[in-house]
Every structure is written in C-alpha cells, then in structure tokens.
C-alpha cells in the first residue's frame, strides 16, 4: 500500500520507509504530485494543522495521506512556542533565531523551572477519514545550545533521563525516544492492525 507523506524532504521519506520496511507500506513524497499548493498552517492546534495538510493533499492525490505538526511547549512560557515553534522569531526565522528568542525569554529562569516537552501529532487520512497519533517527550531547556546534530530546538532540549541535548545524543538515540518516534510507533501499530501486515 502506498501512503503519501506530506513533505518534499527526501530524507524524511527515506526515514519513514526504513521504519516501515517490514509492513508492506511504501511512502511517497509530494514530488509525485502534479500540483502541491502551499498549505497555510493557521489552525489553533497541532491536530488542526496536521489535518489541514493531510486533507489538502489527500483530495489532490486520492491516496492515503500522512501529515504532521509538532512543536515545543515550555512550561515557564505557558506552553509557548507551541504551534508557532517553527516561526517563533518571525515568519522566515532560522533555527538559530528561534533558539535565541527562546533563550532570551528564559533568561534568569532557574534550571528546575525550565521544563518543557516536544509534541508530535500525525494525521493519516484514509478514504477521507482522519486518524490521529500523538507522541510527546518531556525534558528541560538548557541555558545555551550544545551539539551539532539535529535541527530546530534540538541543541537546547535535554530529554528526561539524559544529561545531553538531542543535538549531542544524535539521530540514532533521538529516533528511538523522540515525540515523533512515539507517534510513529502508534501509527505503525494501527497500520499493522488495519492492513494485516
């Protein structure tokens, strides 16, 4: 069975195909479509944004479609940046600019109050019906970035049970314990149950 992954990133498609290699599922990207409109993520929740992306491309492709929305929620900032994580420091902000804004807002906040969590929501649309899969990982925000690997807020986020950031731990560890990994695990179980693979 083919599932359209709502991304143009070949790395993400490769990663998903590797994770699902024992299921009979093949993921294809948006580059397989004739038209790929820009989807404005203007929902109030991760669920809204993930569903809007998945529905948009499902109606274009007519095949099962998977989309994701995710973000970082910092307790000391009342859950910000949340759904605005990718554009926290402005519409076309770089990861570095977003990280700097986060650090400036947390200036003077002691380590024990720098708790946060990454949240991932996947939406799979099959036959026009949405199914949601959620994952989260709790942790803490560092006072300065560390590590070179990963992207987004990875250099600032230390997952619970570890003493290094995601950017130091690297993709192998991250792909086992991250919010996205946990959501994908639920998706995998659903796919196996539903399609008997």
What confidence tier does 192 reach under pLDDT thresholds 50, 70, 90? confident
What confidence tier does 196 reach under pLDDT thresholds 50, 70, 90? low
Quick one: pLDDT at residue 167? 94
Task: Express each pLDDT in 96-146 by its tens digit.
Answer: 999 999 999 999 999 999 999 999 999 999 999 999 999 999 999 999 999
Task: Express each pLDDT in 77-88 by its tens digit.
Answer: 999 999 999 999
Which has the higher per-residue pLDDT, 10 or 52?
Answer: 52
Query: Helix, strand, coil % (nearest 5) of the chain?
Result: 45, 25, 35
CB under 8 A, 24+ apart: contacts of 104-110: 105/77, 105/80, 106/74, 106/76, 106/77, 106/141, 106/143, 109/76
Task: Express each pLDDT in 162-172 by its tens digit.
Answer: 999 999 998 88
Task: Express each pLDDT in 27-68 by its tens digit.
Answer: 999 999 988 998 988 999 999 999 999 999 999 999 999 999
Quick one: pLDDT at residue 55? 97
- Domains in the chain, please, with CATH? 2-195 (3.90.950.10)
Q: From the candidates 42, 69, 95, 154, which is the catalytic residue?
A: 69
Quick one: pLDDT at residue 4? 97
In whole angstroms, give the CA distance from residue 151 to residue 129: 32
Task: Express each pLDDT in 142-156 by its tens digit.
Answer: 999 999 888 899 999
Decide if 154 is catalytic: no
Quick one: pLDDT at residue 151? 87
Task: Detail the DSSP E strand segments found in the chain.
Answer: 2-5, 26-28, 65-74, 115-126, 129-141, 157-159
pTM: 0.92
pLDDT at 157 exceeding the cut of 80: yes
pLDDT at 197 exceeding the cut of 70: no
């Amino acid at each position: 069975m083919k599932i359209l992954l709502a991304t143009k990133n070949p790395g993400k498609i490769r990663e998903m195909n590797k994770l699902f290699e024992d299921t009979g599922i093949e993921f294809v990207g948006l580059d397989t479509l004739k038209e790929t409109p820009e989807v404005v993520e203007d929902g109030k929740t991760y669920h809204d944004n993930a569903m809007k992306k998945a529905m948009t491309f499902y109606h274009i492709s007519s095949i099962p479609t998977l989309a994701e929305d995710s973000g970082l929620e910092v307790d000391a900032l009342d859950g910000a940046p949340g759904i605005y994580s990718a554009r926290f420091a402005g519409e076309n902000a770089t990861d570095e600019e977003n990280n700097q804004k986060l650090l400036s807002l947390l200036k003077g906040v002691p380590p024990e109050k720098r708790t946060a969590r990454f949240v991932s929501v996947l939406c799979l649309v099959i036959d026009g019906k949405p199914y949601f899969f959620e994952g989260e990982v709790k942790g803490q925000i560092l006072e300065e970035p560390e590590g070179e690997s990963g992207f987004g807020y990875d250099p600032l986020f230390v997952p619970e049970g570890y003493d290094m950031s995601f950017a130091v731990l690297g993709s192998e560890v991250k792909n086992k314990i991250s919010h996205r990994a946990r959501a994908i695990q639920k998706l995998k179980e659903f796919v196996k149950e539903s399609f008997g693979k």
